[in-house]
A = this chain, B = another copy of it.
Amino acid sequence: MKKIKFEKLFEHPTATVDVVVFSVENGELGVLLIRRKYSPFKNMWALPGGFIRKNEELAKAARRELGEETGISGVYLEQLYTFDAPGRDPRGRVITVAYFALVQQRAMKLKASFDAKEAKLFAMRKLPKLAFDHKVIIDYALIRLRNKIQYTNAAWSMLPEAFTLGELQRLYEIILGKRLDKRNFRKKILSLGILKTLRRIKKGLRQRPARLFTFKTRKHIELRRFF
């Protein structure tokens, strides 16, 4: 193993990880942002993320940053893209490996233990001005999310263990940004065989009680495009 020379090393760009955390709350698709404590872009809203430590896997770094800055853990996480436009970071040459994560509505409540002035879920339609090129990253992530839920079972990571078909459909409608036909939706989603029908029933609301379902598996599964 060769010793790496200092001058040589200095030529290399540094690398960060950023995470786009999506969640659906109050009938809207939201992205988790944190308020930056340091320069550059001090006090501006930005994606959770930060520098990679040596010998730390990227995905692990993403989870660590997420945990440190927002208290969220145990979510679905996948690599999105590596952004490297020159000038994206005023400190100089910094490339960032972006991840995207999906979390349950409930999980966002844990975040409440953190100061809401520091980490907050913003509706996609009301994003503040963002640090770096984070708006570009979020837009890219949204495209990925929309595609993803159409050919994988990724929705499991955004819903509680048990849910009604109505809740599942609403999730799809919010993410895709369009209404879906109820009968067609149920037919299709059930024909995929990824759901398990529970005995339980959701009642207590002033409406007809609804059957509860759960995902057969809570691991990522690729299917054929289905909407």
Q: Residues of A at under 8 Å CB distance from B?
A: 1-2, 4, 6, 9-15, 39-40, 51-55, 57-58, 79, 81-82, 84-86, 90-93, 95, 97, 225
| Copies of this chain, whole number | 2
Q: Which residue of B lies closest to A11 (CB)?
A: B54
Out of B52, B82, B84, B92, which one reaches A13, CB within 8 Å? B52
Complex CA gap A82/B57 in Å reads: 11
Tell me the dominant secondary structure on chain A's binding face: loop
- Give every chain B residue within 8 A of A15 (Cβ-Cβ): 12-13, 15, 95
5 contacts between A and B (CB under 8 A): A1-B40, A9-B9, A12-B15, A57-B84, A57-B85
Q: Which residues of B contact A82 (CB under 8 A)?
A: 58, 79, 82, 97
Question: CB-CB < 8 A to A92: which residues of B?
Answer: 1, 4
Chain B nearest CB, measured from A3 CB (Å)? 10
Please provide the 6 A-B residue pairs with the shortest distance between their CB atoms, ordered closest to farther.
Answer: A11-B54, A58-B84, A82-B82, A12-B14, A82-B97, A54-B93
